[in-house]
Amino acid sequence: MTLQTNLDHIETENQYNDILSNNENVMICCGRMGPMCVPVYADMETLRDEYPNVKFYDMLFDIPDAQVIRNLPECVGFMGLPFTVYYKNGKVVKATSSIQMREQITAVLDEYFSE
């Protein structure tokens, strides 16, 4: 099961591990097709061209394998969708809960992934 977005979807834990092992800069938005999540996916779709050094993915919050994100220590205490997680060399550098404005997302991308 996937989200109805134009992003690449992560559907399994194996795929998640592969992506993190093979890419330096990764942003994953884990959510549903709800009011707080959709704007974040839409921003990620348009940010792909601006940040070619970052891989952008989404993951449906309700699939069992999404526990890899739901159970991250960085997401403990999160009670608002989506959970958006930024990874550098497989390590979490930042995680946010609930909707983020485009400028909040780019601030994180610039801080951690600028070349």
Phi and psi torsions of 19, nearest 5°: -60, -45
Nearer to another protein, 2 or 101 (CB): 101
| Interface of this chain with another protein, residues 53 to 112, rule: CB under 8 A | 76-81, 96-99, 101-103
Count the helix, strand and coil residues of the chain and give each as a percent rounded to the nearest 5.
Answer: 40, 25, 35
Out of 39, 45, 88, 92, the residue judged to bind another protein by CB under 8 A = 39
Residue number, 43 or 58, with CB nearest to another protein: 43
Among the listed residues 36, 47, 60, 92, the single contact to another protein using CB under 8 A = 36
- Check binding of 35 to another protein (CB under 8 A): yes
**Which sign does the torsion angle of CA 22, 24, 30, 35 carry?**
negative
Which residues, including other chains, have CB under 8 Å from residue 86's CB and lie 6 or more apart?
25, 26, 27, 92, 93, 94, 95, 108, 109, 112, 113
Total residues contacting another protein (rule CB under 8 A)?
21
Q: Binding segment for another protein among 11-19, 31-39, 85-93, 107-115 (CB under 8 A)?
A: 31-39
The span from the CA of 73 to the CA of 100, in Å, is 20
Where on the chain is the footprint of another protein (CB under 8 A)? 34-36, 38-40, 42-43, 76-81, 96-99, 101-103
